[in-house]
Amino acid sequence: ESAALLKAIIENAIDGIITIDERGKIESINPAACKLFQYAPEDVIGKNVNCLMPPPDKERHDEYISRYQRTGEPHIIGTGREVTGLKKDGSVFPFRLGVSEVQYSGRKIYNGFIHDLSREKAAEEKLRDYT
């Protein structure tokens, strides 16, 4: 059955996948995202997605979403962006964020795709030290 297949794909994805409602509230988080941010699903489901980012995005994220809904002008949707995530232990890490908008049973949700860049960034820094 396709719903079970989809669930298996999301559960076993290498990248993190988070869904939020139109106000930024986390509705689901897959194991890869839990591992990256160091949270159990029950720690973050129902919370604002801004609990996973450091300032200044933390304070601005609600406005990012509402501005997009007001203007229809995307800044991440359709392109992606490199942003900084905040782990439970307070440390930060770089990742590539992709966001897609989904109309689902009469309402809007957003899917966030999280590709960790910690290793790439560390390698880049190391290279820079040599030059």
Nearer to ligand HEM, 7 or 67 (CB): 67
Interface mask toward ligand HEM for 25-64; x: CB under 6 A: ------------------------x--xx---x---x--x
Nearer to ligand HEM, 11 or 59 (CB): 59
Single-letter code of the amino acid located at 117: L
| Vertex 82: Cα angle to 65 and 49 (nearest 5) | 40
* Residue numbers 85-104 binding ligand HEM by CB under 6 A: 85, 97, 99
Q: How far apart are CA 32 and CA 87, in angstroms?
A: 13
Q: How far apart are CA 62 and CA 85, in angstroms?
A: 16
In this structure, what is the dihedral angle of CA atoms 59, 112, 67, 45, given to the nearest 10 degrees? -60
Q: How far apart are CA 45 and CA 40, in angstroms?
A: 9
Minimal CB distance residue for ligand HEM: 112
Question: Rounded to the nearest whole angstrom, what is the least distance from the CB of residue 63 to ligand HEM in the complex?
Answer: 8
Sites of contact with ligand HEM (CB under 6 A): 18-20, 49, 52-53, 57, 61, 64-65, 68, 74-77, 83-85, 97, 99, 110-112
